[in-house]
Each structure stands twice: as C-alpha cells, then as structure tokens.
C-alpha cells in the first residue's frame, strides 16, 4: 500500500536522494538538501519557469544554489524534473568524471547555471543574472511584446551571508532595484562548527531592509507560507526580495536533524535506515512522485508560448530580433574583425606616445559603437581606469544603458560580471587598479574555471604609478594572473598592442582575459604589417638582431622601451615583445622556435614585476631584471632607478651573458 501523495512526500524525494548519494560517496553535505527540500518543492514545481528538454532556452528563469556544498539538492531537482541527469549519474556523485561533482560545476550537468563552490559568489552571480535580465529587457522589449522576461531564484545559507561579498552585491542589487531577484535564505542556525549564534548574530532582516530589499519571513517547512511569500516576491517589481526561511537542517533524520553532525558528513547507514522509517519511505522514487515532479510537458508549453511571442516580435521588429539572437549566441558582429583590424592599422600610423590606459580608452571609443553587447563598469575608478567612452550610459540612470557604476566593490563587481556573462547577451568588462585585483582574486579564478568571456581591466600596472607607494604598487599580481589556468593576461607596450589585446579579449569565447595598462606614457614602437599580425600571437620579434644572433631580450609593457634603448647600444641582440605569454604558448612549436631559438641561451627578461615568472623563458643561465621586494613611495623615474630596472642594467646583463 502506497502512502497518499502529499506535499511533504513529494519533497521527501529530495531528502532520500540526497542522503543516499552522500552515503554512497561517503562524502558530502546532506543537511542543506534535507532542510531546504520543502522550499525547493514549492519553487521548482510551481514557480520556476524552465524546460528540462531544452536547458538553454533563452527566456528560462535562472536558478542559483549559492550554498553549493548542498549540491545534491540541485542534482536531485534536475533529475526529478526531467533533465538529462539519470539515477546512475546521482550514484556517481563526487566520483571522477561524473556529471555530479561535489559542488555544482557549470558545464557538467544540464541545468546548472553557474559554479557555486566558494560561498557568497553564487548570490553575486545571481545579481549578475538579474542585472543582465533587466538591462537586456530594457534594450529589447517593446510595449506590446516582451521577449526578455524572467526571474532569478537563488538559495543561500548562513555562510553566504557571512562572506563579505554578500554585502557588496546585495547592497548594489537594492540600489539597482533588481526586482526580479528572489533569494531564499536557509536560516537553519547551523554551520560546520556548530550553532552560528556564537559568531553570526547579525539582524539579517534589518540588514536587507537597509539595502532596499523586500524582506519576508516564513517557516521553511510550510509549503503554503513559502508559496504565498513567493507570490509576494514576484509582485514586488522594484525591490529584490529575500525570503528568510526558518528551517531545520537535515530534517527527517531522527538523531541528527538540527545538528552540525549532518552538515558536512554522511548520515551513516543506521541513521539512513531510521530516516527512511521516519519518512515512511521504502522505494527509491515511486512512479507517482516522479510524475508529480516531471516538468518536461509544462516546460515545453512555456517555451512554445514564448516562441509564439518571439515569432510575432521577429515579424514586427526583425532587426531587433536578429540582433537579440546574435547577442544570445555570443557571436560578435560579422564586420567587427575587419573594422578592428582597420583601427589597429590607423593606430599604428598615428604612432602616439600615451599611457596604455588612455590607449585602452581610445580603443573602447573605436570598438564600443560596434559592440552593443558591451556592458562595462569600474570599481569607483572610471576616471583613473579610463573605462568610460563617449557612448556610455549608466544603467542606474538608464535601464537600457551599457555601463555600471559598481562603487568600491572589486570582488562583488567581478563576480557579478561572471553572472552577466553566464546569462548571455553581454560581454562584460570590469576595471580596477591592478593591486586591487587581490580583492577580486577568487572571482577572477571562477571566470577562468567556468571559461567565461569576462574582460578584467587593470590599470596602474607597476611601480611606475609612483608616489602612491607600495600599498598601491603591484609586484606579484601579474605572476598570479599568469599562473591562473585558462586566463589570458595581456600587458601591452603601446597603443598598437593595446588595441590588439582588446580585440583578442573580445573575440575569445572560451575564457576570460586580463588587460593590464600603465598610468604613465609609454613610447610608441614602430611595427611592420607582419609584426602587427604576429603581435596577436602573444609574443613576437619587435627588433631583429644586427648581425649574428647572440642574445635575446624579452620584455612587456613599459619595459619594452628599456629593451629597445638597450638594443640600440648592442650588437647581435633581438628584442622580443611578449604582451601575452599564454597566447604565445598556444602557438605551434615552429613559431615559438622562430621567436625564441632554443640554442640562444643568453636571455634577459625585464619587467617591473616579480621576477620569478620569467625564469621559464630565460632558463637558469639567463637573467631577470625586475622586482623581488615591495615598492616605495617616490616619483616613477626615481623608483625605476632605485630598483635597478634601467637601460644600463639591461645592457650590463646582456654583456655579462655574452662575454
């Protein structure tokens, strides 16, 4: 005899799947899925507008599990509602090459919108989703036809709210009036170390009210209350909403619910037996429960209804429809590459000696009108990063704008940009001083890990920024960026390399790019057409040796001018500009050998940053001129002299190696 179908029994399917998978893996977090099952039941079965048969449907609602350690909650939901995630996939939870890794990973299982491992970044991504939806809707929707119209739902826990990034992004979300963002706070009072009241006593309700959010409180196990709160949240069009759900972690486990014991460890076989008895659950998932969860028919109907609206939109607004489809696909305009190349040649002809941050702004001014998908922003440094161009409009004043004033929120800004990129329809770029990349470091890593086209603009690239001193002078940051897998890091030497770097970043669809620009003016370097083409390969011969090749000088950015000055004083020396080592290493062996012949052991690298990175290119027989300490506060010219990053030092190093 089967138990009558009811709300709690439907939700219990999540509890059973979660505790069984964690037990089989002997690793994981059963408590959050079991505690949030009732919330998930209401949100996913009644409100989430999605189509399991087409996980990439453009107008789907976005769902983010910010407390990503509870990943079995999301995997259970995807499986139950009909995504291509089988029971066998769930049995492979946390195993090598499985589609169900320990935390939700973008690109592994259909329906996972973002990678949520580091706490707090999920809610930040959700803010990015909501920002992208609101901006894209303002740019494309018409009074009679709305083709961009969806919500972002986010689950989060105590850990997310303790992380500082949650303050950064939730504050901004309120200011931006992201009314289609709805967050469900799993207020269970438990973290790994026990009851959180000893270290987390914030008044969360007043905190979010101060941000400008609508705040609702419910019993997280009362389906009717959750349902009504969600209706209220959707009705509030100006304020984002947080629904504070009082829950019991591990609900259903007779001996471990409400305790830290079930937070990050399997329940144990005996406890699972007791839990099954308490839940009245014998089978894995009964057919009637599967039927109650199945969202395929409903999702297909929703997508079909949207397709009908979009067909009307295409008929009435064909230009806008084609543009929206292009932008969602991630393809740049067909004419962009040729127009960008023309600008690069014009820049080469001008031969300006300016700071590369100014060259970057000039490039944005040229490329911006060609790329309506650009959504820029800076962490309260637009006047220093030079990220504004004449066509910029702030989304704060114009919802259809293309620029975000992020305020002093480097970490939040970068994680929001990841969400914008994941949403689709935009190519986000964000900016701060290179030194303050450190605040954003983990979000930069996440954009690389998820292979998202996010452009990280960093200015004030070295001790060359001068008097602000060591607190603002980056030393190890460039090496840190270069050490990040799947991140391209460009440090251009002048206007031409800057334009080439921007073009490369914009055209790259399989990962992020860091663009590192100078505050001070950098001399223009004359190039042939072939050298311009080779610069896009990340490393190339800027100055050919006079006579027999005896030594190679490798440099980037502002130090290219030192290398060229040394070149003028030496015979048999080649100068290699290496604006992007990652791109250079992607080239074939023949090209790399042509630029850096293996038999030339006399190599000198020069860069006003930490020396350690460059040993891979110069070898133990070579020399690296750069920084091994932090900087000082003084004019840039004095600093370069004091730290020995000079033309004379380069000349002396070459002579020593070739003696």
Give the residue numbers marked as catalytic: 410
159 marked ligand binding residue: yes
Instruction: Report the b/e string of 161-193 with b at 16+ CB within 10 A.
Output: bbbebbbbbbbbbbebbbbbbbbbbbbbbbbee
DSSP β-bridge partners for residue 259: none
Q: What separation in angstroms does the CA of 468 have from each of 497, 632, 643?
A: 27, 8, 16
383 marked ligand binding residue: no
| Lookup: tokens for 365 | 């001014």
188 marked ligand binding residue: yes
Give the list of residues 6+ apart from residue 228 with CB closer than 8 angstroms, or none.
Answer: 218
| Cα distance between the two ends of the chain | 92
Q: How far apart are CA 18 and CA 70, in angstroms?
A: 9
| Lookup: tokens for 644 | 């020995």
Instruction: Report the b/e string of 125-155 with b at 16+ CB within 10 A.
Output: bbbbbbbbbbbbbebbbeeebebbebbbbbb
528 marked ligand binding residue: no
474 marked ligand binding residue: no
Question: For the packed helices 71-81 and 31-42, what is the interaxial angle rounded to 10 degrees?
Answer: 40
468 marked ligand binding residue: yes
Which H or E run contains 157? strand 152-157
Edge to edge, the sheet with strand 427-433 lists: 403-405, 374-378, 427-433, 455-459, 513-516, 488-490
481 marked ligand binding residue: no
Q: How far apart are CA 409 and CA 393, in angstroms?
A: 20
357 marked ligand binding residue: yes
CA 27 to chain centre: 27
384 marked ligand binding residue: yes
167 marked ligand binding residue: no
Instruction: Return the closest-CA partner of residue 658 out of 534, 571, 581.
Output: 571
Instruction: Name the one residue in this structure whose structure tokens are 């000349």.
Output: 651
Q: How far apart are CA 476 and CA 588, in angstroms?
A: 29
491 marked ligand binding residue: no
DSSP β-bridge partners for residue 377: 404
Edge to edge, the sheet with strand 573-577 lists: 540-543, 573-577, 551-555, 603-610, 623-627
Contact 425, 324 (CB under 8 A): yes
Instruction: Return the closest-CA partner of residue 183 out of 220, 152, 210, 227.
Output: 152
DSSP β-bridge partners for residue 427: 374
- Residue 226 sits at φ, ψ, to 5 deg, of -65, -40
Question: For the packed helices 495-507 and 336-350, what is the interaxial angle rounded to 10 degrees?
Answer: 170
Q: How far apart are CA 513 and CA 517, in angstroms?
A: 13
144 marked ligand binding residue: no
3-state DSSP of 427-451: EEEEEEEHHHHHHHHHHHHHHHHCC
460 marked ligand binding residue: yes
Identify the DSSP state of 557: T
Per the annotation, where are the binding residues? 29, 69, 117-119, 158-159, 188, 190, 263, 357, 384, 436, 460, 468, 472, 519
Annotated binding-site members for thiamine diphosphate: 69, 117-119, 159, 188, 263, 436
Provide the annotated binding site for Mg(2+). Answer: 158, 188, 190
Binding site per annotation, positions for substrate: 29, 263, 357, 384, 460, 468, 472, 519
């Amino acid at each position: 005899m089967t138990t009558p179908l009811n709300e709690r029994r439907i939700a219990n399917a999540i509890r059973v799947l979660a505790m069984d998978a964690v037990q089989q893996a002997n690793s994981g977090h059963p408590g959050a899925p079991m505690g949030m099952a009732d919330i998930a039941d209401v949100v996913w079965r009644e409100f989430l507008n999605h189509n399991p048969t087409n996980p990439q449907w453009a107008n789907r609602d976005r769902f983010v599990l910010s407390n990503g350690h509870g990943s079995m909650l999301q995997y259970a939901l995807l499986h139950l509602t009909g995504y291509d995630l089988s029971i066998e996939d769930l049995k492979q939870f946390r195993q090598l090459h499985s589609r169900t890794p320990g935390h939700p990973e973008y690109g592994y299982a259909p329906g996972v919108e973002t990678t949520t491992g580091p706490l707090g970044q999920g809610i930040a991504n959700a803010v990015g989703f909501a920002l992208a939806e609101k901006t894209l809707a303002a740019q494309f929707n018409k009074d009679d036809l709305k083709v961009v119209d969806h919500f972002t739902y986010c689950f989060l826990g105590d850990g997310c709210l303790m992380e500082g990034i949650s303050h950064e992004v939730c504050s901004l979300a309120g200011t931006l009036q992201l009314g289609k963002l709805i967050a469900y706070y799993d207020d269970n009072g438990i973290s790994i170390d026990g009851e959180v009241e000893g270290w987390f006593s914030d008044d969360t309700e007043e905190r979010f009210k101060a941000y400008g959010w609508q705040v609702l409180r419910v019993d997280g196990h009362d389906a009717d209350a959750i349902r009504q709160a969600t209706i209220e949240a959707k009705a509030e069009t100006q304020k984002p909403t947080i629904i504070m759900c009082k829950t019991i972690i591990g609900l259903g486990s007779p001996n471990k619910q409400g305790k830290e014991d079930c937070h990050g460890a399997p329940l144990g076989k005996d406890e699972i037996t007791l839990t099954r008895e308490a839940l009245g659950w014998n089978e894995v998932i009964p057919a009637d429960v599967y039927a109650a969860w199945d969202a395929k028919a409903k999702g297909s109907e929703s997508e079909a209804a949207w397709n009908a609206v979009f067909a009307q939109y295409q008929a009435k607004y064909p230009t806008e429809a084609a543009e929206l489809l292009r932008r969602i696909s991630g393809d740049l305009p067909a004419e962009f590459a040729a127009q960008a190349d023309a600008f690069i040649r014009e820049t080469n002809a001008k031969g300006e000696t300016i700071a590369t941050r100014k060259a970057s702004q000039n490039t944005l001014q040229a490329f911006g009108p060609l790329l309506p998908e650009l959504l820029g922003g800076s962490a309260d440094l637009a006047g220093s990063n030079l990220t504004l161009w004449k066509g910029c409009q702030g989304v704060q004043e114009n919802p259809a704008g293309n620029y975000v004033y992020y305020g002093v929120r480097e970490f939040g800004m970068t994680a929001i940009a990841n969400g914008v990129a994941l949403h689709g329809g935009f190519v986000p770029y964000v900016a701060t001083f290179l030194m303050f990349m450190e605040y954003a470091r983990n979000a930069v890593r996440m954009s690389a890990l998820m292979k998202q086209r996010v452009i990280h603009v960093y200015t004030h690239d070295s001790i060359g920024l001068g008097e602000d001193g060591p607190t603002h002078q980056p030393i190890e940051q460039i090496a840190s960026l270069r050490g990040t897998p799947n991140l391209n890091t460009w440090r251009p030497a002048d206007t031409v390399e800057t334009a080439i770097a921007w073009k490369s970043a914009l055209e790259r669809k399989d990962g992020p790019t860091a663009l590192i620009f100078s505050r001070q003016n950098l001399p223009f370097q004359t190039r042939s057409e072939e050298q311009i083409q080779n610069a896009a390969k990340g490393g190339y011969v800027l100055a050919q040796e006079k006579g027999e090749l005896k030594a190679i000088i490798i440099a980037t950015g502002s130090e290219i001018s030192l290398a060229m000055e040394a070149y003028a004083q030496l015979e048999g020396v080649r100068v290699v500009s290496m604006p992007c080592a990652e791109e250079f290493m992607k080239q074939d062996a023949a090209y790399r050998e042509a630029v850096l012949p293996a038999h030339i052991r006399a190599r000198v690298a020069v860069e006003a940053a930490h020396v350690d990175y460059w040993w891979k290119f110069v070898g133990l027989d070579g020399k690296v001129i750069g920084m091994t300490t932090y900087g000082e506060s003084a004019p840039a010219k004095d600093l370069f002299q004091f730290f020995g990053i000079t033309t004379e030092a380069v000349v002396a190093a070459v002579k020593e190696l070739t003696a």
